[in-house]
Structure formats: structure tokens, C-alpha cells
Structure 1
Amino acid sequence: MHTFCDRAPCSNRLFVSVRQDITSGGGRRVMDPVIVAGAGPVGLALALALARQDVPVVVLDEGPGSDAPRAARTVVLREDTAAFVERLAGVPLGRAGLRWTGWRAMRRKQTTCEVAFGEDLPAPLHIAQHVLTGALRAALTREPLAELAVDSRLDALEQEDTGVVVHTRGPRGTWWRGSYLVGCDGPRSTVRKLQDIRFPGRTAVERHAVAAVRTELPWTDEAFLHRMPPWRTTGPFAGEIAARPLPDGVWRLDWLLPPGKDLVTPELLVTRIRETLSGWTGESSPAYELLDTGVHTVHHRLARRWRAGRVFLAGDAAHLLGTLGTQGLDEGLRDAENLAWKLASVWHHGPHETLLDSYQTERRAIVSARLRAADQVLPALRGGGGLRSLLPGAARGHDALLMDGHLGLGPVGAPGSYADSPLMPPRLDAEVPVDTPVGAPVADVMVTAEDGSFVRLRERLGRGALLVVLVAPGTGVWERRHWVSAGVMPRLAAAVTALPHRAELLVAENYPGAAPHTVLLVRPDGHLVTALGGVRPADLYSAAEATVGGTERTGARAGAGAR
């Protein structure tokens, strides 16, 4: 890969481009990089995921290349997205953040719900956003196929039949040429505006006063939600407090604010901190260190389109959500993981419209469903309306619904499924049920890789390959050389070699709900395609072909995706 300047045909513009020669279909072609606009967590994660799949990438960062520390700006990552980020960063984030031991809900003086995290319910990771961004940025600087252009704000965009052309202003203001462009440039996305994509939704769905404090509370490493606390409140506060621990005795505290634009002054917030800590500790003057404060406003918005030809949107540029304890960044990272393997596939093998279109179809449907679920329960939880009138047949209380958002459960918070994706194969004769529904994220079981090493299944994701997992009890106690040529393995290995897309064969001692000799087909982003009862080469091939969008490659019609 090399960086060079080039003058475009029919133009006097001077371009900066990063190109790589690749061999495809018996011929050699020169490919421009993927351009990512925005160097937040989503943009950096997408760029890293592409580079790890041998796709050159340029990240346009309108900032100086670093983030100011903000202790009160934190994110909560679910198990799968935390694992995704850790794979990309190449370092465990547990020391930089904190995985909670439990979660509880309280109403007035009573504890209404307690949850202990463990194998059945893995703990989320709570981490300061600048720490997360710094880890991803450091990993990106080590990637030979990645370039980070700081002080480069995108302000113009053109699409061509074979690529995109963008202009950046700043000290390095110039024209850049790429194969595709992904706008990860936040709620006020310039990419979205230049493509004239509408961004409808609701403004100020919730507002929270936020503070990061270092103090001692009765609950160690345990997050909790306190509704209607018994002590008197001062100022415009609505009687709901979320407390989330961080390392080194730091807590992020969020107070729900009532609707409206009441001003939260520093004096009011300090008074509220003292009242809250006194109520929890029973001390009249609890010791604490105030590290950071702010007001967090939650909006609900969803872009009409997430793809316009060679231009895509991801993260806050495509959607805004975050009420009831849900995490918008969690969804943005899932956008990046979903899009990365699809862009990598078309970059290496040629444009494929079905595969590219599936990004919008899959991800937009999941975020839309989550927004609908939140909008459905918000009147009951915030406005005092009748819960059963909004959720017919529901018997769960308000606290249980709030728990879903905070813990990543139910329609408000659970990871989405791609069961209705256009990439899902039709029902196969050999398909058998397992505990993971088709289209949902797979369980992170131990597997034996082709080199004989024992690894977690998620460690094999993000390489652009399909994963074929054979469930074979007993193989874990034998060296691979003893069973690799026995039983069904030779036939399965031959079937995997014949698949229409690169695939890796793995072996698991067990998988939840799977009988011996079950064969699982897993997408590069970790979602289950199908589970087959035994080695069925024809069914496995059919499922794999559907997963990568079928056989059609559109060649010169690369720009035909514009809507």
C-alpha cells in the first residue's frame, strides 16, 4: 500500500489516495481505500475491523487526534460488543473499565430486584468513553493499512461509478478518493446532510443531570437504579437516580430531569449530590470528590436511509437512542461489526448489491424496533399511564421494564436478531433447533481451531470468514491429530473447502441445546445462520451461498445502489 497524489480524469483537482493492487477473478485491479468520516468509537472500530480484513482505510478526524478526558462521559457495553472492541484494541479493557458484580433496583427504601452477573447473564463493561476511544485509536496507529488524517473536516462529497471523492478543510485540506465512504460523524453528520438523507424523530425524549464522583457507597461494584428516593429533593429533579460504578471508587450518577428546559445550575447539582449521598450512606456530610458534571439529553432519531450508493451511515449519524438505560454506542458498534465484513467482501471480490443492501435492511430494522419498544413503554413509565393499556397482557412492573434497558434484555435492550434478513437461507430439510435462535448472536463456547489451539468462539470472528462449528463431544480430551481424520471430519472438511466463501472449520465439545454431530454455520459477525443435523454438504453450501448474498456480482453497476 502506498500514499500518493493523483489528478482525476476530467478534473484539475489534486487528490490524496491510498491504493492497493489486488488480484481478483484472474485479473489484477487497483482499489481505493474505504474512507471513514469520524474518529469516534464507531468510526475507529469500523476502520480497525476493515484493516484486519486486509482493506486499506482512511479515517478523517476533524479533531486534533485526541479526546479530552471526561469522567462523566461513559459508556456501557454488553458482552458481545465489549468482546468486539477488545478484539480490535488487542488489549483487555477490564482494567480500564469495570465489569459489575450485580445490579439492583430500589423504590423508596425497598430493594425491588437484585441481579447477580455470571455465566447465565454476563456482566456489562462500564468504561469512560475517552479511554475506549484512546485504546481504539492506539490500535489503529499500529495498522499498516490504516491512515488517520487529523484536523480534516469533510465538507464536500461526490459519487462516481467506481468510487467516491470527498474534500476536507483544515491544515491538510485536500481532495480524497476512495472506494466507499462511511459517515460515522455523529448526530450532526455532514455526510448525511450532503446526501440529503432525512433524520426524523423526537427531540429531548429524556434529560439527565450527570456527575462523576469519587466516594464510598454501601454497594461495591454494583450498579443500581433508585426510583422515588425517600429524601426530599431540591431543584428540578424527577425522583429517579442511576448509579454506575467505575474503577478507583468513581461513580457516575444520573438524575432524571422532568420534561422542560429547567436550568440545572452547578449549585443545584452540588446540593443534589450531597442529598443523594447522604440518603444512601446515612451520613450528614459524606466525603466525596467531584470529578465532572454535565447534562445529557436523549433524542430519538432514525435516518430514512443508511445507504446511498457507495455512501453508508453508521452510529449516531444513522440513529439516536438511549432512553430507559439503553446505550446508543452499543448499537453503533454493532453497525460497525455488521458493515465491516460486507464491505470487506465486496472490496476484495467485487460489488454485490444484495450484500451491501442487507446492512441497511438488518441494522435499521433492529434499531427501529428498539425505538418503537421504547416509545411504547415511555408513557407508562414516565407519564403515569396505565401499563396494561400499552402492553396488553403484560404483568411485569415498571421496575422490570427499566431493568431491560439497563441490562440489555427484552425488546428494549436485547441484542437484535437477523432472522428476517435477506441473507438468511430458506428453511433447510436438515435444520435442527439449538438454544440460539436462527439469526441471533452465537454462544461464546470453547472451540478447537484448525491449528489445534483451544480458543473462545468469538476470538475467531472478524476475519471475514464464515465459521463452521462441529459439535463433537469428547474431542477436547484428544489431540487434534487423533480425530481430525476420523468419523465425519474428512467429509465435513471437504464440504467446508467447497463453500462459495472462505470458511474456517472449528470443533466444539458442546453447544447449548445442540446434539452430537450438529453443524453450525456462523456469520463473520457472530450471528447464527443455521444448525444442521449432521454433515449435509448440499444444505451447508446453500446456506453459505445465501449468507454472502447469493452468486450475483454486479461488476460495473457498483454505483447502482443510490436510491
Structure 2
Amino acid sequence: MDPVIVVGAGPVGLALSLALARQGVPSVVLDEGPGKDEQRPARTVVLREDTAAFAERIAGTPFDALGARWSGWRSMRRRQEMRAVTFGPELPAPLHVAQHELTGALREAVRRERLIKVAVDSRLDSIEEERTGLTAHTRGPKGTWWRGSYLVGCDGPRSTVRKLLDIRFPGRTAVERHAVAALRTELPWPGEALLHRNPPWRTSGPTGAEAVARPLPGGVWRLDWLLPPRSDLVTPEVLVARVRETLAGWCGGSTPPYELLDTGVHTVHHRLARRWRVGRVFLAGDAAHLLGALGTQGLDEGLRDADNLAWKLALAWHDGSRRVSDSLLDSYQAERRAVVAGRLRAADQALPILRGGKGLRSYVPGSARGHDALLTDGHLGLGVLGAAGTYADSPLTPPRTESLAEVGTPVAAPVADVEVTDPEGSFVRLRDRLGLGRLLVLLVAPGTGVWERKHWMSAGLMPGLAAAVTALPHEAELLVAESYPGAAAHTVLLIRPDGHLVTALSGVQPTELREAARIALATPPQHDDEPSTGPAATKPGDRARE
């Protein structure tokens, strides 16, 4: 099979290529630039805890040194504290990182990966699809033709791929505008992020003035100020005056010493591509959607696109499209587009309420405290504005059965990260086993943690469960956990390669487990005379090396 062509070498394109390589799939990344990224400290991203874990997993390195994990979050209105959040095991802190640092870490991981080829100074200008693959042409100093099995456009808001496919990209322009500054200084709340609405020192400007301070490593802070609609250009003088006024307001009336590192104006657009797949071509990241109002994070959703699409493309690539149905690849659009559309709808409904307009405000009762809760949800990845999406309406989600066990994770939602015992008998985190192209079967078995795996593999439910896992229609790994949130003993969880829960069953139910796996993989029902394909089949990584 030919490699997957990834158009765009931003964080989403690099993450997709790494996620494919982790599953034994080669790729070519077409980078229209020189392979370097401009350092902009004021251009930062906030990643939810599980999305940051995905990025760390595919990069093969922790990101704690790159960014900051906040100790807490506070929201204030004038001089009153409206809400305080302390991060810990129950609510893990998000990761705040400069985008060029994130991209640099992913580029370094790509350089170490033999299955990924990066072509710099290569701008796509045409795509020709055939029955067994496609061809892409690039222009530039090294313009040439590239042969691929699939192509994914991760080439940003002005996506060439989207334009070549003639896909509409409707939405709203300039939903919000923010003045942004990155500076090194000391604030009275080290390590905490702050959302301040209607700060009392503002003597001019809109009633709904809003300032946000988010810490980065090395004493650096990113400060954002919400700009009024149709406001004048933000001159350097105006921005410096706003920096000094804000710092003085937060530090008791006098401006502390500071070093201004970077400034800019960030304009938020809301757009959603009509289609995310046309034949062998897909869209991901900003090429497929734009969002970011009320603290929501577009790059976070783009990384989720990569995680969702990678295992499906890998399955199709290794199978040569002989058994993998189109419905599996179609499910990428069905799942991801629905989640992003829901996020955009929630933001559009909340904007009139939070920004002082009319519309829904006259129908939905609200208060200052409720408004701050909504904004906090967007900034911290909670609630309808920010929580990780579920795929309950996906064609890959099996129907409820009598054997369905209720656990703390809804069906089709991302699973919780718990300690598990892997096939080698080592204690690892559940998320460490994701993204390898295989299903995970997790047995909740209290008490097993004190015994070596070899002692309980032949006891109790394990022999029957091991046989059921072997009979699944795709390679699966059997894991055991002492506990899982909300799960009773002997609950069996079936988990997709991207970490979403397929089903949870009470005890060992071989037939239902197999049927749930079949639906999750969009595999046609197997007839009795067909050979079984389970863990005995060649592993994805082995096939890539043949």
C-alpha cells in the first residue's frame, strides 16, 4: 500500500502522521513552509488532560517542561470572586503551552520516526483520485507527483484541499476579537489562571470588559482582553497602556516590573465544513472547523480529529480495503463533525447571554454566577462548551442490551485513565495502551493487584474471557484493573483504539462482546464458513515492516 499523504505540517498534521506511524502506517507530510516555526509566545493553546496525554503518547515524551499545568482557576467579577477551582486527581489540570513549543516537540518526534517523510517547500495544487489510490501534485522548488493511499487535509483555515474538493465552509466571521500579550512578570497568584469580568479599574470601554491571565513556564503569562465589536485597531501604544493598567489593577495600584515578549490580536471565527470526507480524501483540524469563542480550543478539537481518524485509516490501510467497509471511514465525519457542530451550537446560544446581547437572554434566565460558570466551562474543557465529546449516535455504537453494565463512563465517551495490568504483568496507565490499532478489553477484578498475572490468568473468569478475546474480529489486548469508576467487580469494558467506550458488560458475555466489537469496527457479520481474524492475525506494526 502507498503511504497516507498528510497536507499541512501544523500540530494536527504532525500528530496525525505520528498516530499513523504508531500503528505501522507510513505517511508523507507535505509542508508548504521551510520546516521551521515562528516563535510567538503570545500564540498559545490549552489542551484538556486527555488530549495532552494523546499528544505526549504519540510524541513519546512528557510535555511538562514545555508548558504549565495550573494549580487552580479563579473567576472574578469586579472585586468579587465568583468561582474558584483547585486542580487535582478528581479534576486534572489542563496543559497550557505555546503553540510553537508543541509543534517543535511533534516535529522532533517526526524526525525520529522512519515511517514519516516530510517534504518541505511543497505546496499542493492538484489531487487525482483513482480506484486503488490517489496522486497529489505539489509545486515549488521540489514540485513533483506523490502517490498515496489516502490524503488528509490538515492545511488550516484557507485549506487548499478543501478548495480543491469544492467543499463549502459556512459560518460566522469575527465572532470575538481579543488583544493578546505575552509578558514576563510576577502576579499575586503564581500558578493560577484568572478570568476577570468587568474589572473595577476600567474607566473606559465596554461594560462587558473581560481580561484573562494564564501562566506559562518561566514566569511568563499570556494576557487576553476581549475587544468590543467593530472596535478600532489596537495600536502598540493602546496595548501597552492596557498592559500597565491591568497589571496595576491586579497588583494593588502600581504596575510591577514586566518584560513584554509578544503581542497580537486574535480574531475568532466559527465555521464548519459541509463534508469531511470525499472518497479517499479527508479534512481535519482548522481545515474542517473553526471555533474558539468563550474559551473553547480549536486545536484541542483538531487533535481529537487526528486521534479518531488515525485508527480507522490504519485499519483500512493494513487491510487493503478488502474487509474494511466504507462505513468505518464514514464514521469519522459522523462522529467528529457532530461533536464540533454541537460545540458551535452551544457557543452560539451562550454568546448573546454572556456578551450582553438580547436573543436568548430574554428566554433563558441567567445570573452573573451562572455566566461565570459557563465561561469557566469553556476555558477548562467542561460542560456543553468544553467537555470531551461522546459518540452516542455513531454507527459504531452498539445498541443497549440486557447485559449492559452501568459504569462511571457513558457509552461512547472517553474512558477514565486507571492503572491496569498489561499482558506482560506490568502496572501501566490505561491511556498508555491506546492508539496501537487494537481493541482493549478491560476486566475489573478487585484483589488481582497483589498477585502476579501468571497466578490469576488461569483462575476464575480469566480463561473464558481470554477465549472470548481471542475470538474477536480484530486484534485485542486483555487488561485487568483493580477498579474502575462506577464499575462493579467482574465488569468487562470494551474500548476502541482511541479510548472511547464501546460497551460495558456484566461478566463474560462472549457473543455480546464479539457483536459489540463487530459493530465498533463496522465489520459485516461473519458467516460460519469464513476464517476468523483475531489476535492471532499479524499485528499492524509487523505488517508495516514486511
* Band the TM-score falls in, shorter-chain normalisation: over 0.9
Residue 395 of structure 1 deviates from its aligned partner by: 10
- Aligned partner of 1:288: which letter? Y
1:341 & 1:516 partners in 2: Cα distance? Answer: 30
| Candidates 417, 435, 438, aligned match of 2:408 | 435
User: What TM-score does the superposition give when structure 2 sets the normalisation length?
Assistant: 0.94
1:313 has 2:283 as partner? yes
| Candidates 208, 217, 234, aligned match of 2:178 | 208
Cα shift readout 1:418-444 (whole Å, capped 9, x = no counterpart): 111100112222111001000110000
Q: Is the 8 A contact 1:237 1:256 kept in 2?
A: no
Instruction: Decide whether aligned partners of structure 1 residues 45 and 77 sit closer, same or farther in structure 2, where only a CA change above 3 A counts.
Output: same
User: Which stretch has the larger CA shift, 409-418 or 395-404?
Assistant: 395-404
1:111 has 2:84 as partner? no
- Aligned partner of 1:509: which letter? E
Hey, what does 1:505 align to over in structure 2?
478
Residue 232 of structure 1 deviates from its aligned partner by: 2.9
Cα shift readout 1:208-237 (whole Å, capped 9, x = no counterpart): 000001000001110010000011356789
In structure 1, runs of 5+ residues without a counterpart are 1-30, 554-563
Hey, what does 1:361 align to over in structure 2?
334
1:343 & 1:91 partners in 2: Cα distance? Answer: 24
Taking the TM superposition and a 5 Å limit, the aligned residue runs for 1:328-477 are: 328-351=298-321, 352-385=325-358, 389-391=362-364, 397-477=370-450
Hey, what does 1:193 align to over in structure 2?
163
2:521 & 2:292 partners in 1: Cα distance? Answer: 32
1:144 has 2:114 as partner? yes
| Candidates 517, 533, 536, aligned match of 1:544 | 517
SS in 2 for 1:383: coil
Residue 370 of structure 1 deviates from its aligned partner by: 0.5
Instruction: Decide whether aligned partners of structure 1 residues 230 and 78 sit closer, same or farther in structure 2, where only a CA change above 3 A counts.
Output: same
1:49 has 2:19 as partner? yes
- Aligned partner of 2:217: which letter? P
Instruction: Decide whether aligned partners of structure 1 residues 552 and 517 sit closer, same or farther in structure 2, where only a CA change above 3 A counts.
Output: closer
SS in 1 for 2:373: helix
Hey, what does 2:227 align to over in structure 1?
257
- Aligned partner of 2:422: which letter? A
1:173 & 1:292 partners in 2: Cα distance? Answer: 35
Cα shift readout 1:308-336 (whole Å, capped 9, x = no counterpart): 00000000000000000010000000000
Q: Is the 8 A contact 2:422 2:480 kept in 1?
A: yes
Residue 552 of structure 1 deviates from its aligned partner by: 7.3
2:47 & 2:329 partners in 1: Cα distance? Answer: 26
1:492 & 1:317 partners in 2: Cα distance? Answer: 43
Hey, what does 1:96 align to over in structure 2?
66
Taking the TM superposition and a 5 Å limit, the aligned residue runs for 1:475-490 are: 475-490=448-463
| Candidates 20, 32, 35, aligned match of 2:5 | 35
1:285 & 1:368 partners in 2: Cα distance? Answer: 43
CA RMSD of aligned residues (A): 1.5
| Candidates 300, 316, 320, aligned match of 2:270 | 300
Residue 550 of structure 1 deviates from its aligned partner by: 2.2
1:487 & 1:383 partners in 2: Cα distance? Answer: 61
Q: Is the 8 A contact 1:238 1:257 kept in 2?
A: no
SS in 2 for 1:76: strand
SS in 2 for 1:416: coil
1:490 & 1:270 partners in 2: Cα distance? Answer: 68
SS in 2 for 1:397: helix
1:124 & 1:192 partners in 2: Cα distance? Answer: 31
Q: Is the 8 A contact 2:407 2:504 kept in 1?
A: yes
* Percentage of matched positions with identical amino acids: 75
SS in 1 for 2:212: strand
Cα shift readout 1:542-561 (whole Å, capped 9, x = no counterpart): 000000012279xxxxxxxx
Cα shift readout 1:42-65 (whole Å, capped 9, x = no counterpart): 000000000111111000001111
2:206 & 2:214 partners in 1: Cα distance? Answer: 21
2:402 & 2:239 partners in 1: Cα distance? Answer: 62
Q: How many residues align?
A: 523
Instruction: Decide whether aligned partners of structure 1 residues 393 and 235 sit closer, same or farther in structure 2, where only a CA change above 3 A counts.
Output: closer
In structure 2, runs of 5+ residues without a counterpart are 527-546
1:472 & 1:392 partners in 2: Cα distance? Answer: 47
Instruction: Decide whether aligned partners of structure 1 residues 552 and 478 sit closer, same or farther in structure 2, where only a CA change above 3 A counts.
Output: closer
Q: Is the 8 A contact 1:236 1:264 kept in 2?
A: no
1:267 has 2:229 as partner? no
2:359 & 2:206 partners in 1: Cα distance? Answer: 25
1:393 & 1:496 partners in 2: Cα distance? Answer: 50
1:252 & 1:237 partners in 2: Cα distance? Answer: 23
| Candidates 520, 528, 534, aligned match of 2:507 | 534
Q: Is the 8 A contact 2:208 2:356 kept in 1?
A: no
| Candidates 169, 188, 194, aligned match of 1:224 | 194
- Aligned partner of 1:527: which letter? H
Instruction: Decide whether aligned partners of structure 1 residues 395 and 297 sit closer, same or farther in structure 2, where only a CA change above 3 A counts.
Output: closer
- Aligned partner of 2:20: which letter? L
Cα shift readout 1:163-190 (whole Å, capped 9, x = no counterpart): 1111111111101110000000000000
Hey, what does 1:323 align to over in structure 2?
293
SS in 2 for 1:540: helix
Cα shift readout 1:392-438 (whole Å, capped 9, x = no counterpart): 79996211111110111111111100111100112222111001000
Cα shift readout 1:26-51 (whole Å, capped 9, x = no counterpart): xxxxx100000000000000000001
Taking the TM superposition and a 5 Å limit, the aligned residue runs for 1:7-46 are: 31-46=1-16
Hey, what does 1:519 align to over in structure 2?
492
- Aligned partner of 1:505: which letter? L
1:124 has 2:98 as partner? no
Hey, what does 2:541 align to over in structure 1?
none
1:169 has 2:102 as partner? no
Q: Is the 8 A contact 2:245 2:255 kept in 1?
A: no
Hey, what does 1:23 align to over in structure 2?
none
User: What TM-score does the superposition give when structure 1 sets the normalisation length?
Assistant: 0.91
- Aligned partner of 2:88: which letter? G
SS in 1 for 2:218: coil
Q: Is the 8 A contact 1:315 1:329 kept in 2?
A: yes
1:61 has 2:31 as partner? yes
Cα shift readout 1:238-278 (whole Å, capped 9, x = no counterpart): 51001100001100000000001410000000000000000
SS in 2 for 1:402: helix
1:155 & 1:416 partners in 2: Cα distance? Answer: 34
Residue 157 of structure 1 deviates from its aligned partner by: 1.1
SS in 2 for 1:248: helix
Cα shift readout 1:443-462 (whole Å, capped 9, x = no counterpart): 00000000101000000000
1:204 & 1:357 partners in 2: Cα distance? Answer: 31
- Aligned partner of 2:89: which letter? E
- Aligned partner of 1:354: which letter? S
1:151 & 1:272 partners in 2: Cα distance? Answer: 39
Residue 286 of structure 1 deviates from its aligned partner by: 1.7
- Aligned partner of 2:520: which letter? T
